[in-house]
Structure 1
């Protein structure tokens, strides 16, 4: 059974970091020092499981009052195309609403822009490079 949740235990945080390592570092060649950053200590983390196996991750920061910055959203390759990204985003947006955050911002890898547009995010920047990967800034009002 697939579940998503806010991370509350050290094991769950380890599981989220495991998925990020597999997707961003191993698959996309993002250097570890860019993937694991200073914001990991203060961000609110989320993890998705298939039973007890970690399969997805993401985090939210509040860089300015009322703004949720969604980052590091990823799903293991064998689980993509099964709407788990939608489930992760629903979980993260629900948390943002409960925390009284009114805007969600994110930097989407350019190939993922159509996914976020289906979730009603709007592009707010020209394309830019981050960790050698093209991105677009996007946002949505909650």
Structure 2
């Protein structure tokens, strides 16, 4: 997949593409309320954007909760680009970005049906399944160390 580029988004220029991906995945496919999806935290977050053949196909949001913990949110890949490992590659890039800031821990509210993706990336399930935006989720955590700074290819 040599035509895949994942980078930290350049805001505000990339935000319309990020919004379009999230609207397609979360609002249209999953029925998430726009007020929940666009929660006012985008401005205080870092975003990743993935381009496949120069088309924006995926995104994720990194929100720094404090000096040692980041929350990965809003991982989304357009339906037309799924099944190619793009979500995993976005997550790997996000972990690299987070580790470069000396953050020690990453937390996610993983949708229950996709938690296996996060488990493959060494996230550990924590607590009970809960409902968020009408979708079953589970909290998952991962500790970071210097090996997370190694550039993934």
TM-score normalised according to structure 1 size: 0.96
1:69-111 deviation digits (Å, cap 9, x = unpaired): 0000010112111110111011101110111111010000000
Alignment counterpart, residue 26 of structure 1, candidates 18, 25, 28: 28
Distance 1:12 1:138 in 2: 28
Note the 1:1-142 alignment, pairs <5 A. Answer: 1-142=3-144
Pick which of 29-38 and 5-14 moved more: 5-14
Distance 2:17 2:101 in 1: 24
RMSD of aligned alpha carbons:
0.9
Partner SS state of residue 127, structure 2: coil
- Aligned structure 1 segments of 4 or more residues deviating by more than 4 angstroms: none
| Equivalenced residues, count | 142
Please state how far the C-alpha of 1:65 moved relative to its aligned partner: 2.1
Please state how far the C-alpha of 1:10 moved relative to its aligned partner: 2.0
Partner SS state of residue 116, structure 1: helix
Residue number in structure 1 paired with 2:151: none
1:26-62 deviation digits (Å, cap 9, x = unpaired): 1100010000012111000111011321100110011
Distance 1:58 1:125 in 2: 23
Distance 1:37 1:98 in 2: 26
Q: Which runs of 5+ in 1 are unaligned?
A: none
